[in-house]
């Protein structure tokens, strides 16, 4: 029995450490603009290929900015040429001639630290971590009035074909139990589509409802709920999911970024020693830290049976963080800029 307990403890610590490592890998992937396509006239390429390559890199930096910055802050960067100095690696994956045009398919890896330092020098906010999963529903109303509850495989196939960096989208299973848990009013008003029961089934809080009424074929309506705040928006629709889905995702992710923006002017590096009583207290502390949306760049430097040494960056005031943790039965002793942390149980 003693051996089984210690084996579980070692396994848990390994999982704990690997989870932090994996999160840092996912976080780094947002700085890679992969399979980026750029077209140019063949005649222009023959004149000066190196200038065209720089032009591609600049366009890739524009794509990176859209990932990290809120829409209103994009205009704060007057010139994208600075992006040429922020690149670690540039690979041309393919070159295709299409009539008189030439298409490049490239991968551009930006240096995370250089990008962040650049934003800091320009006093620009950014966000580069993933938020909580978001449940997505697609509802379609036929001209006859019949409702199709997320039965459009084409929509979901296209929706999930785009790579997502900030939000993990989740689609419902589609069985009858799930479908019957969605409540519609007679006129199918967006405000009256209720999915709370289904959210509880999946253990999620945030959702995106997309509603297409074929009686109004040029319009798609959305209802986006995040952190108990609901947003409504309509989009012009030309019948092509490939043209509307990027707009839907940009709308959702821009709101998410506005709520979770990482303010570089008010950040603090917190170094701590956590003293776990057992595996349960270790798991509890991990959950408390992970759920705090103002905490990023978690890192573990040392693990032993009695102490874990780590660090994270907090966006906001130390007093707010201390109060938040103490409300969750976390005891903090500050010594020489290092926090000794215990759980009061």
H or E element at residue 8:
helix 2-29
Q: What is the mean pLDDT of each run of 10 residues along the chain (345 residues)?
A: 43 45 54 92 84 93 93 89 94 90 93 90 84 85 78 84 87 63 56 71 85 89 88 92 92 88 69 90 86 77 86 79 86 87 84
Longest dimension (CA), the chain: 75
Mutual angle of helices 49-68 and 112-121, in 10-degree steps: 70
DSSP-assigned letter for residue 316:
S
The pTM of the whole model exceeds 0.85: no
CA distance 226 to 259: 9
Strands 267-274 and 308-315: antiparallel
CATH 3.40.50 fits 134-260, yes or no: yes
Alpha-carbon radius of gyration of the chain: 24
The pLDDT, as a whole number, for residue 278 is 86
DSSP-assigned letter for residue 228:
T
Query: Would you list the DSSP string of 9-70?
Result: HHHHHHHHHHHHHHHHHHHHHTTEEEEEEEEEEHHHHHH-HHHHHHHHHHHHHHHHHHHHS-
The domains of the chain are located at 2-27+264-343, 31-121, 134-260
The pLDDT, as a whole number, for residue 182 is 61
Residue 297 structure tokens? 């760049």
The pLDDT, as a whole number, for residue 193 is 66
- Residues 6+ positions from 156 with CB-CB distance below 8 Å: 138, 150, 171
The pLDDT, as a whole number, for residue 165 is 83
The pLDDT, as a whole number, for residue 69 is 92
């Amino acid at each position: 029995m003693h051996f089984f307990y210690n084996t579980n403890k070692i396994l848990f610590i390994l999982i704990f450490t690997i989870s932090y490592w994996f999160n840092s890998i996912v976080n780094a992937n947002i700085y890679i603009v992969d399979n980026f396509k750029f077209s140019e006239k063949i005649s222009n390429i023959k004149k000066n290929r190196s200038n065209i390559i720089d032009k591609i890199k600049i366009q890739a930096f524009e794509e990176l900015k859209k990932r990290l910055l809120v829409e209103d802050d994009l205009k704060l960067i007057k010139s994208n040429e600075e992006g040429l100095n922020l690149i670690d690696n540039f690979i041309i994956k393919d070159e295709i001639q299409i009539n008189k045009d030439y298409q490049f398919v490239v991968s551009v890896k930006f240096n995370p630290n250089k990008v962040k330092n650049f934003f800091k020098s320009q006093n620009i906010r950014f966000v580069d971590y993933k938020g909580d999963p978001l449940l997505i529903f697609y509802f379609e109303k036929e001209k006859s009035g019949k409702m199709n509850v997320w039965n459009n495989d084409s929509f979901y196939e296209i929706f999930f074909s785009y790579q997502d960096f900030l939000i993990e989208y989740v689609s419902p299973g589609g069985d009858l139990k799930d479908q019957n848990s969605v409540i519609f009013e007679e006129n199918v008003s967006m405000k009256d589509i209720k999915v709370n029961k289904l959210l509880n089934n999946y253990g999620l809080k945030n959702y995106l409802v997309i509603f297409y009424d074929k009686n109004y074929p040029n319009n798609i309506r959305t209802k986006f709920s995040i952190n108990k705040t609901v947003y409504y928006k309509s989009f012009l629709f030309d019948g092509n999911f490939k043209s509307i889905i990027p707009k839907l995702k940009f709308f959702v992710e821009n709101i998410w970024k506005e709520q979770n923006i990482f303010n570089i002017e008010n950040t603090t590096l917190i170094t701590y020693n956590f003293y776990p009583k057992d595996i349960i207290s270790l798991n509890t502390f991990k959950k408390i830290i992970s759920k705090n949306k103002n905490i990023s760049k978690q890192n573990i430097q040392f693990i032993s049976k009695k102490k874990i040494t780590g660090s994270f960056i907090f966006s906001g005031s130390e007093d707010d963080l201390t109060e938040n943790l103490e409300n969750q039965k976390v005891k903090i002793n500050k010594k020489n800029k290092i926090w000794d942390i215990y759980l009061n149980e």
